[in-house]
Amino acid sequence: MQLISQIANIASFNGLDEFWQRALQSSVIVKIGGALKSALSKIDGETVRKLGSLCQSLSFAIALIWFAALALPMFKDDKDVLAIIGLGGFALWILGYLFGGKESRRASATDMLVLIFFATNVVAAAASHYFMPAVLGLLKIIVYICSYFFLTAVLQNSPKRKLALVSVLVLAAVVESLVGFEQFRNHVQPLATWEDPTVETQGTRIFSWLGNPNLLAGYLIPVGPLAFALGFSALTSKKWLLAIPPLIAGAIISVAIVLTGSRGGYLAIGAAAATISLMAVARFWIAKPKARVFIVILCVVLPILLVLGLHFVPSFEQRLTSIFAGREHSSNSYRINVWNASWRMFLDNWWIGIGPGNKVFRLAYGLYMVSGYDALGTYCVPLEVAVECGVVGLITFGLLLVSLFARAHISFWSVNADKSTGLSLEQWLTAGAVAALVGLLAQGMVDTVFYRPQVQYIFWLAVALIVTDMRGSSSIKQNS
């Protein structure tokens, strides 16, 4: 355990936190911001500070509305409004900070990795053969990066805000799931041809307000672990009644993911469930020796029940087994063709990529595609990153993920939590965020919805939940 902790401390880049903070303090942008903040405070110090705090409080209210509205039908195709809401909230928080509001944001080495990743996209866009489409793709990246800084700012040092924001997101996901259940009950016909026409058993695939079952799965995948994290937190704190709603919500969301028929969703829900279960089992195995027999029984019984449940629903069992059918399944064959073409594209542009954005990909893909197999993306997130911004961008993205998982490990195993359970709400949310990221990456290996706003914003929320857990930001004494 000690060796793992040492590796996590190195991989988390915690040692660079102070370096990055000093670098920011000496930067021109921060000095200009500091001068502006000082000038504004001289107008009417107390009044301006109160106005600043109000602006920052309103920015969090905007964040709540933002995540409540992510999957509403009016935003299914209107990505610009979601971007405006997020950027508006971030701008309001910055304004509040300049006015001397009481909230501040702690810089970390994760910020540096995020900005390096952004810089690789800037270089890729500047060097792209399709400059204007690449610039449009870069603007989307800017919006997503701003969402990271916005969320880390409003959630800094505030477990109550984390609880509120995650609760709103879980509630919205439950509503989205219930709409999908109604579609399943009424056998609603799909809006497009998602099924392989050669399969013998076809079931109703729900898509709710998002219009696409794979996108619905991508939206729900990271929310499920966060819902269970809230429930586990309440259970371990012996708040039994408070545990019931989030656990029921997690179950509803999980069933909805299965009903989407998204095979990437099946992989994701398995990966996410395994992640948060392993983290919880490892912690309780050490902290609760008397519960080890019960833990073993659960670990054996639950997978058996899951397998039996899928076996008695033929359409879902067939969807699951088709993952391993290779080219015998048309959807698999399509993806393999896209992967092969995308790999050739990467090899020809391996250093800095073709430029960010799906419009650039569509323009370049025509030079490599197999006739009749058009695509919006690579259907594989690591390959997409490599194609868009080259091997440098891929390495940076990988380092960012490694850093996040290392910080989460430090947080999860830190000893300065509540005395009764050894785990606080923030630690459970960190565990849920890790499972959310693992789930998104699992689906992202075979699908392309990762870059849709409804998925990207939740991805950056999961990142923010980990980064703003201060236990993961320093080499705290840990359990052995």
Which DSSP category does 478 fall into? Answer: B
Query: Residue 326 falls within a domain, yes or no?
Result: yes
Query: Residue 441 falls within a domain, yes or no?
Result: yes
Report residue 339 as tokens. Answer: 């992967």
Q: What percent of the chain has pLDDT over 70?
A: 92
Q: What is the pLDDT of residue 397?
A: 97
Q: What is the pLDDT of residue 318?
A: 76
CA distance 403 to 409: 10
Beta bridge partners of 478: 414
**Residue 309 predicted with pLDDT over 90:** no
Query: Residue 33 falls within a domain, yes or no?
Result: no
The predicted model gives 452-468 an average pLDDT of 96
**How big, in percent rounded to 5, are the helix, strand and coil portions of the chain?**
75, 0, 25
Report residue 414 as tokens. Answer: 């830190």
Q: What is the pLDDT of residue 479?
A: 42
Whether the model pTM is above 0.85: yes
The predicted model gives 463-469 an average pLDDT of 95
Q: What is the pLDDT of residue 34?
A: 81
Q: What is the pLDDT of residue 330?
A: 81
Q: What is the pLDDT of residue 214?
A: 93
**Among 42-56, 91-105, 244-258, 277-291, where is mean pLDDT lowest?**
277-291
* DSSP line for 449-475: GGGSHHHHHHHHHHHHHHHT-GGGGS-
First to last CA, the chain: 6
Q: What is the pLDDT of residue 198?
A: 52
Band of pLDDT at residue 284, cut at 50, 70 and 90: confident
Q: What is the pLDDT of residue 480?
A: 35
Using one digit for the tens of pLDDT, what is the confidence trace for 154-209?
A: 999 789 999 999 999 999 999 999 999 999 999 887 665 555 555 545 678 899 99
The predicted model gives 12-37 an average pLDDT of 85
Q: What is the pLDDT of residue 315?
A: 67
Q: Which domain holds residue 425?
A: 107-473
Using one digit for the tens of pLDDT, what is the confidence trace for 128-161?
A: 999 999 999 999 999 999 999 999 999 997 899 9
The predicted model gives 122-126 an average pLDDT of 97
CA distance 170 to 65: 13
Question: 259 or 283, which is more confident?
Answer: 259
Q: What is the pLDDT of residue 199?
A: 52
**Residue 359 predicted with pLDDT over 70:** yes
Query: Residue 72 falls within a domain, yes or no?
Result: no
Nearest in space to 265 (alpha carbons), one of 301, 222, 308, 304: 222
Query: Residue 450 falls within a domain, yes or no?
Result: yes
Sign of CA dihedral 93, 98, 104, 110: positive
Beta bridge partners of 414: 478
Count of domains for the chain: 1
Q: What is the pLDDT of residue 25?
A: 83
Query: Residue 68 falls within a domain, yes or no?
Result: no
**Residue 474 predicted with pLDDT over 60:** no
Q: What is the pLDDT of residue 1?
A: 64
The residue type of 172 is A
Which DSSP category does 100 fall into? Answer: T
Band of pLDDT at residue 215, cut at 50, 70 and 90: very high
**Among 103-107, 217-221, 400-404, 473-477, where is mean pLDDT lowest?**
473-477
The residue type of 403 is S
Q: What is the pLDDT of residue 43?
A: 77
**Among 25-29, 88-92, 463-467, where is mean pLDDT lowest?**
25-29
Query: Residue 15 falls within a domain, yes or no?
Result: no
* DSSP line for 116-142: HHHHHHHHHHHT-SSHHHHHHHHHHHH
Query: Residue 90 falls within a domain, yes or no?
Result: no
Q: What is the pLDDT of residue 436?
A: 98
- Give the chain's mean pLDDT: 88
